[in-house]
Structure formats: structure tokens, C-alpha cells
Structure 1
């Protein structure tokens, strides 16, 4: 179980959640910050203060006051209007990463959402309910508005999700897990989509996959050394420390570990003085 605080999530924890399906819980102290932030939003609505995206429209309509009885409809319309992506769907792992990263960001307590919304994101993640999200349509610079709108639909029981190996309506998956769709309140639609979790999710996954490939390359290199009865002296720790690059030192250490019981490698002067370059 990994506890999200909004400030301490590591790349290794992301890997455990994405590939190991480790479950998430929320830090209570962070949730109290979320509650305090929410009270500010509710005060703005109650007093009908003029604040963008809470009591006003969006974009060109930022100077149009939205009365308190319409603030929920405003947020729902925002999600519906932006859930217009096209093209191939993101892999489930991207959707899964987006759920995790958006929950982590909102948990910082600066976005004015209710704790129930963050808990719903985590519930989807733990239940392995992954929103179906089209790849094309995002702006990125002002937020991954369209991909995150498709993610938000699942919280409302709308749109489609990947669940138990198939694509189904979101409401079916929620019902199967005993989850009730949420109703967006003031600012929550804006808070859900005004982020960059689509590009961040893809970046994190690219990093993790590149790291895995790098480790696999070490095994391939080790097998190649055995196949050529190669000289392993170049991987000695003293040689690596002389170069001074910590990552190189670590790679050499792992290759030595892989080859430590090999009967096929050699040392300088046993079969040859130096290995061929190619």
C-alpha cells in the first residue's frame, strides 16, 4: 500500500502502482489541506464573488457572472464540451498513470476540490477501472484539457472504461465495484482538466520503459561477452572509479555480478591481450 501525500510520490512508487498494481491510500493530513481549500471555494460561491471558472464562464465568457444555482451545471458542461478527442485510444497504462498523477496533484490542496473527488480517482485506480481516452486533441500548453475531460467522464459514470479485459460503459464498471458516480460541484470540472497529466503520464512511462531497456542491454552485453570469450578486466571497479561517472560504475558493477560465475569469460593475456573493437 502506497500513501499519497501530494508531495512525496517517487518514480519507483509510480512503477509499483502501474506495473505491480499496488493499491493507493490517501494521507489524512493532506486531505485536511484539501478540505481547507474547498472551504475557500464554497465561500466564493456563497458570496457570489467574481472569480474565474467558479462564478464566471470560461474564455470569452470570463466576464459573465454565473449564479450559484448554475455552478454545478457550468462544471458539467465544461467536461462535456471538452470530451471531444479523436483517434486511437491511449494504452490502459497511460490512463492508469493519469489517474494516479491527477490524484496526487489535487491532493496538494491548492485546487479547491472536495476530498470525495480525489477518493473517487483513487477508487478507480484501485479497482483497475481505466477511462478510455483518445490520443488526439490535447493542447498541452494550457493543460491536457481533452484527455483529462475523457478521464473525468468516468468519475461521472459516463463514457467508456477498460475493465476486466473489456471495454464497457463506465456506469457498468462503477456498479460492479459498488461505486457511485460523483456530481461535480463548483470549480471541480476545471480542476480536473486543467493539468498536464497526459503528457506527464507518457513521459513517466517512456522513462520506465527506457530504464527497463537499459537493464536488458546489460544482460545482452554480458551474453555477448561470454559468446566472444571476452576480457572482463575493463569492468573492474578501479577502472570505473578512475573515470568518475557514478552511473558507469553501477553498470559495470551489475555486469560483473551477471558474469561472476561465468566459465566463458577471460582476463587479459589468457587468450589474447585485447579484445577486438568490432
Structure 2
């Protein structure tokens, strides 16, 4: 099987699923073990017994299909807003990849129906809330599986609305299927909601980390900050990998800066921490994200089903569905991402104070114009909201299943909070982006470092200099789009 890496998330998943279309021998072998177990008439959890606290109740052979069907229907109790289509698709892809590892015993018919749904872009609509992050993401994965039975809904092509699954299946000439023994349990046991949210956000964070360095360099130039704190020697005697990387990025971005040369002997001793400590703060977030990526890469290449089917015929009940590794990682990533926003807002504030020749609020005629005052309010509000959202979900646990499942991870709540934090930080950084670009305009004709200069030019092609108050929200939206634009980092020379 292909190892899925966060940096190549979508390419690796596509390759994995294409491989599974051609070779399903491991799935078929595991399924045969399940069939043999059924023939033995012994009790196997979830295959011919009830679930959770009902595990001691043996189910007769003529009711096994109904058992699996009831499992999906009874667990489809999610609530709240719907998960974005892109993450729903990723949940489906990760479920296919995990089942394809060959330790679940799912039937080929059910497995191939999942692949058919993915191929036809029939992406189930899944509510956000209802998982406690143990026994798998039961409710969300049950909603993902509902269309197999003809229930539930699919996203439309644009991901803006949902359509009843029954009608979509009929239009495509697809009949609902009957789940076989173990199929339903294999579908809903697993950490794919937590894993999809985390993988998606960690994948996006790889660009965000570099963009944060770029914005820090832009603000440093605009504020005539010192390059001395980024000296290579400083960081090699405290050699955290992230810190070293950030300092290197800043030095690259500031190369050949005319602005730096213009104030080299200005007598300023030290800059505020939000400039001077960019390597230490951004670097710590980089190290945290690197750790979380390691956790999530392990998870998305793992089997989180229960019970597990092994090649020698053993069927073992365990706890690989428990989301604790992800729950801790999601909380850690939330703090790391939030801190990028926190220090960014401080730089935005400094840019407005009128330091070293910059006009207050970054406009020439203030009073009639509020300038860039209020975007900083928005950044401050989002930073404050993130402080609340960063309270860890993983420290909580409420017993379920009449005490059988007496410790749960709450990782699904951490995943949803991380998404909200990430979106907030995108807007905080977007505000620094167009604020720093505005400030740099006032340093002309002096040029910043080559990397900053190229990025600034590219930004100005999308967002013009602001001479008076206007509808800033459009510029924030454009700036948010720029954060995920690979061309911005290419222009800056960071990729």
C-alpha cells in the first residue's frame, strides 16, 4: 500500500485508491476470514453480536444484514452545520484507504460502492456534531454511509447545497445495497472525521507557515526593523529546527534590502518582540505542526476499525478507534496556529502607530479617513476569539454506552475548533498582508529585500494602494485568497 503523506495528501490518496481498484486481494482475504468465522457459529463482536454495551447479545444468522442496516440508521444522529464538501470527500477517501489495508473484513460489494461514489463525485453530506471521538467517529461516519442504503443526502457539484441521495442514485441508475455481516461496523468504526479535518488543516498549514514568515519580513521592512536578531549564529546556539528555518527564511527575504541599508546606523538597540522574536515564535509553531504531521501521518496510514481481522484467522477486539492521539494533536495544532495570528496582530498594530516616518493609520489624510484603524479591530477580535477556542477538548470525557465506553477523546470537537481557529488566523494574516503592503508603499523609492519586493509587487497587482476609506472587506477577501496562492511564495523565493 502507498504511504499517505500530508505534504502530498491528495496525490497520495489518489494513487492509493487507483491501486485498490486494480488489486483487492487483501480485502478479499480478510473477508474470507469473516465468512469462515460466521460459519464457525462462535460469537465475534459486531459480526454476530450487538454493539457497545450490547456486545453480549448474540444475533442469529438470518438477522445479520438487518443488524448492520440498523447500525447505520441508529447511529445517523449527527447535528449542527454540515462539514464542508472538501472535507467530506477527504473522509470518504481516508475511509477507502483504511479499509484497503485489509484488516477490516468488509465485503467487496460495499467497498466498491464507496469507490463508485467517489468516482462519480457523490459526496455524502455529513453533520459536524455528534462524535465523542472514541469507538470511532460513529455518527459522522454513519451519515457518510447512509447513501449506500438509499438514505441521507449528497452535496451538489458546487458544494453549496444538498440533494436527497435516493433521487441522485436513481438518476445514476444505482440501486441501494444490502450490507453484509461486519460491513456496517467497518464503515463507522474509525477516526476519519478527526483525521480528515486534521490532515486537511495541516496540509494547508504548510503554506501558511511560510506566508507568516513572509508577512513578518514585510512588516519588519516597513517598520525599519533590524536584521541582526536573524543572524545565523544566534539560532545555532539554540538550534530548534523551526527557529533556524524561520531565521533563514527572513534572511532570504531581506537580501539586498535598500531599506535595511538606509537605517543601518540609526542607533536603535532593539525592536519589539513581535519583530525581534519572529524566529522563536513562528519557529515554535513550526515545530508543533511538524509533530502533529507525524501523528496524523501515522494515523491515516493505520487501521482504526474494531474488531480487527488478521491474516492467520484471528479476529481481535481492541481500541484502535480511540481518538486520543489525534485529540491531543488537534489541541496542540490549535495553539500553534493561533499563536501565528496572535503575533501577526501585534505587528499590524505597530504598523498603524506612525513609527519612523509612516503616517498614523497608514493614510495621509486622517480624521475624515479612519485609515487602517478598523481592520486591526477585526484582527484583535479574532485573536481574542481564538484564545477561547484554544481551550483543549482532549481534557474532557463523558462516559457513553452505559459505561462500556467510559473514556472518550472528544477529538472531533477539537477538530472542528481547529478549523474555526485556522479560518480566523487566515483573516488575521490577511489583514497584516494588506496593512504591511500599504506601509511598504510609504518607504518608496527605497526597495525592501528582493523576496519582500517581489511579493509586494505581486500583492499590488491584486490589491491597490488605499488613498482613502473604502469597502475594506473586499480587500480582506482578496488577501485571504492570496494566502493560499502558491505564486505568492514563488515570487518571494520561498519555494
Q: Which bin holds the TM-score, normalised by the shorter protein?
A: 0.7 to 0.9
After superposition, what is the alpha-carbon deviation per residue over 1:42-94, rounded to whole angstroms, capped at 9, x for unaligned?
11223433222212233454344333332222111110111121222222233
Shift of 1:41: 0.8
Partner of 2:111: 118
Gaps of 5+ in 1: none
Corresponding residue for residue 222 of structure 1:
217
8 Å Cα contact 1:133/1:147 also seen in 2? yes
- Selected match of 2:196 from 201, 207, 222: 201
Task: Return the structure number with greater helix share.
Answer: 2
Of residues 255, 267, 270 in structure 1, which corresponds to 2:250?
A: 255
Matches within 5 A, 1:32-51: 32-51=25-44
1:1-278 alignment runs, 5 A limit = 5=1, 8-14=3-9, 24-27=17-20, 31-165=24-158, 166-174=161-169, 181-260=176-255, 262-266=257-261, 269-272=264-267, 274-277=269-272
**Contact 2:5/2:12 (<8 A) preserved:** no
The answer for unaligned runs of 5 or more in structure 2 is 274-495
Contact preservation (8 Å) 1:54, 1:186 = yes
**Residues matched between the structures, number:** 271
Q: Closer, same or farther in 2 for the Cα pair 1:156/1:236, shift >3 Å?
A: farther
Mapped partners of 1:65, 1:135: distance in 2: 33
Whether the 8 Å CA contact 1:229–1:266 is kept in 2: the answer is no
Deviations 1:207-240 (A, max 9, x none): 3444443322212101112202333233243433
Structure with higher strand content: 1
> For 1:249, what is the secondary structure of its paired residue?
helix
Retained in 1: the 8 A contact 2:225–2:271? no
Deviates more, 1:34-43 or 1:99-108: 99-108
Partners of 2:133 and 2:202 in 1: CA distance? 19
Runs of 4+ more than 6 Å apart: none
2-structure distance, mates of 1:99, 1:224: 41
CA–CA distance in 2 between the matches of 1:26 and 1:267?
Answer: 59
Distance in 2 separating the partners of 1:37 and 1:188: 12
Taking a change above 3 Å as real, the CA distance of residues 117 and 153 of structure 1, as seen in their structure-2 partners, is: same
**Does the 8 Å contact 2:136/2:190 carry over to 1?**
yes
1:271, distance to aligned residue in structure 2 (A): 3.7
Q: What TM-score results when the alignment is normalised by the length of structure 1?
A: 0.82
Q: CA RMSD in A?
A: 3.0
- Report if aligned partners of 2:236, 2:244 keep a CA contact under 8 Å in 1: yes
- Shift in alpha-carbon separation, 1:23–1:196, aligned structure 2, 3 A: closer
Bigger Cα displacement from structure 2, 254-263 vs 148-157: 254-263
Q: TM-score, normalised by structure 2?
A: 0.49
SS class of match (2:163): strand
